[in-house]
Amino acid sequence: MKYQEGLAKTKDFLKTNPEPKIKDVCEKAGLTEKETSFIVQRYRKGRQRELLAYDMGKCNSSLSIKTTTLL
């Protein structure tokens, strides 16, 4: 298995649920406001990883690792 177990289900949840519900789940999970904003932009609003990496001052691979950790 390439990804963590349940990662595909988590991504599907993020892509199909409304933003307020996603923010609520992120808050309950203990994510910071910045991390929650990143998750919403990436999965709910469909913002490209390269643009998010640029905005956050990270390289794409570091951002991918951080994303997997958050999920």
In a domain, 23, yes or no: yes
Structurally, how many domains does the chain consist of? 1
In a domain, 54, yes or no: yes
In a domain, 2, yes or no: no
Query: pTM score, two decimals?
Result: 0.77
Ordered DSSP codes for 11-58? HHHHHHS-HHHHHHHHHHTT--HHHHHHHIIIIIS---HHHHHHHHT-
Domain membership of residue 32 as a residue range:
7-70
Predicted confidence (pLDDT) per residue in 38-66, tens digit = 899 998 888 888 888 888 888 888 888 88
Predicted confidence (pLDDT) per residue in 18-38, tens digit = 999 999 999 999 999 988 988
